[in-house]
Homo-oligomer: A and B are copies of this chain.
Amino acid sequence: MMSNKKITPRKLSGFMELPPEKQIIFDNMKDKIKKVFDRNCFMPLDTPVLEYAEILLAKSGGEIDKEIYHFKKGDSELAMRYDLTVPLARFVAMNIDTLNFPFKRYQIGKVYRGEKAQKGRFREFYQCDADIIGNEQLPLVADAECVNIIYEIYKELNINAIVNISNRNILFGLVEDYGYSDKASQILTILDKLNKIGKDNAFKGLCDIGVKTKHAQDFISLALKIGNFDTILKEIEPLSKNDTFLKGIAELKELYGYIKAYNIPEDKYCLNIGIIRGQNYYTGTVFEAFSVEHPEFSSIAGGGRYDNLAEYYTDKKLPGVGMSIGFTRLFDLLDTHNMLQDSPCYPADVIIIPMGNTINTCLSLATDLKAHDIKAEVNYDGRSFKAKLKDANRKDVPYVIIVGENEVATGKYTLKDMKNSEQFNLTKEECINKVKAE
């Protein structure tokens, strides 16, 4: 059965594959995010990775972005999902009559974008999304709920993050007020890049598309407003009497009230008028979270309010608000900057080492330990007792139980506390209690 010609084993670039010791940390963090979603009563959804291409491409009018993995199978044009929002829209549109609204769903799953692979860019990555979808209407408190989810997640992950919040109606309102409604999208695109390109380039960009000097300065100065809600709201409120602008102010005030009610600590959020979030698709509240230690990281969570989740699939108006974390990228950032909370480790609480022909006693003992939720395994590899002990030491396991023939006879086992090299002679029950006490 041996084939002679070997194929060099290799993995596609841009696809994360962690060593198992690190995968444990990844999975634990993913579980913590899931726990926050569950605790907040969001419901899980698990849509297929593959969809009809027509569904995924509805937004672009069927045009295929080169980033999208798509192919033909039989008569069907298929594509791999590139986000979790389009599948949610498809799901809600299909099940509109049986779902309860507001519908709060989360999904943690892999998405695919065949972009140019480069450091920090992945072609397959986990997204952790939570969205709240209303039928016809959705109160603004839902926006606060999504901001709070981001706060809770980063608290759970023990990462110091700050959620920067804005409302697109503020900038849109001033744009309207100054008479540039026809250029709104261009203006916001430039302001969105303010931090990247700098004030001068943004100013030049605005002037180039025909914005007057004074107005360009005002837009930039407004987009640079960042600080606590009370201060910034007081500063910007007098700037315009435009209806859209005042709607933005009113919504921010209301949102601020809810955020305080949620008891999110003051240093965990701020008002930042420069948050725009590219996509035209957001219509009110927008937010992005940043690392406090590394503000230079691009955002580590984002989201906002949209008017119409499933406009390509249904005439029903489904306003929503959602948040999303690009988890694979986040993990990679934390890993690269030595910011992971846990160290890679072997998953055993106890390794049981047979000495002599005691393997069966070891297996029984493992069964009893596991029945008490202790992670236990028997080292049955072919190596010597000494090598096995050394191996347990290298794996940094908290406890080792040695089972020699003497131990089998007396029913007392040698439990070794590997941290301080203490050794005890204990019955099975005493072993269980000692390990569980840890």
Which residues on A are within 8 Å of B, measured CB to CB?
1-3, 6-12, 15-21, 23-24, 26-27, 38-52, 54-55, 58, 61, 69-74, 76, 78, 89-91, 93-95, 98, 100-102, 104-105, 110, 112, 114, 123-124, 134, 137, 139, 141-142, 144, 148, 152, 257-258, 260-263, 280, 307-308, 310-315, 346-348, 359-364, 366-367, 370, 373-378, 380-382, 391, 395
Contacts of A93 in B (CB 8 A): 9
The reply to whether B17 and A43 form a contact with Cβ atoms under 8 Å apart is: no
The reply to whether A90 and B308 form a contact with Cβ atoms under 8 Å apart is: no
Copies of this protein, total: 2
The reply to whether B391 and A9 form a contact with Cβ atoms under 8 Å apart is: no
Q: A101-B381, A258-B363, A348-B41 are in contact. Are A48 and B9 (CB under 8 A)?
A: no
Q: A69-B73, A312-B7 are in contact. Are A363 and B23 (CB under 8 A)?
A: no
A360 in complex: contacting residue of B12, B15, B261, CB < 8 Å: B261
Q: Compute how far the CA of A378 lies from the CA of B18 in the bound complex, rounded to whole angstroms.
A: 39
Q: Tell me the minimal C-beta distance from A368 to chain B in angstroms.
A: 8
Q: A40-B377, A41-B377, A50-B15 are in contact. Are A280 and B1 (CB under 8 A)?
A: yes
Chain B residue with the shortest CB-CB distance to A369: B39
The reply to whether A3 and B38 form a contact with Cβ atoms under 8 Å apart is: no
Q: Tell me the minimal C-beta distance from A377 to chain B in angstroms.
A: 4
The reply to whether A19 and B78 form a contact with Cβ atoms under 8 Å apart is: no
The reply to whether B38 and A347 form a contact with Cβ atoms under 8 Å apart is: yes
Contacts of A148 in B (CB 8 A): 367
Q: Compute how far the CA of A10 lies from the CA of B91 in the bound complex, rounded to whole angstroms.
A: 8
The reply to whether A380 and B48 form a contact with Cβ atoms under 8 Å apart is: no
The reply to whether B48 and A15 form a contact with Cβ atoms under 8 Å apart is: yes
A43 in complex: contacting residue of B24, B61, B363, B370, CB < 8 Å: B24
The reply to whether B95 and A258 form a contact with Cβ atoms under 8 Å apart is: no
The reply to whether B23 and A43 form a contact with Cβ atoms under 8 Å apart is: yes
Contacts of A46 in B (CB 8 A): 16-18, 23, 26-27
21 contacts between A and B (CB under 8 A): A6-B314, A7-B54, A7-B55, A11-B48, A11-B90, A16-B46, A16-B48, A17-B46, A27-B44, A38-B375, A39-B374, A48-B124, A49-B49, A69-B73, A74-B114, A101-B381, A139-B380, A139-B382, A258-B360, A260-B360, A262-B366
Q: Tell me the minimal C-beta distance from A122 to chain B in angstroms.
A: 10
Contacts of A261 in B (CB 8 A): 359-364
Chain B residue with the shortest CB-CB distance to A373: B39
The reply to whether B10 and A52 form a contact with Cβ atoms under 8 Å apart is: yes
Contacts of A73 in B (CB 8 A): 69, 114
Q: Compute how far the CA of A101 lies from the CA of B111 in the bound complex, rounded to whole angstroms.
A: 33
Q: Compute how far the CA of A326 lies from the CA of B270 in the bound complex, rounded to whole angstroms.
A: 47
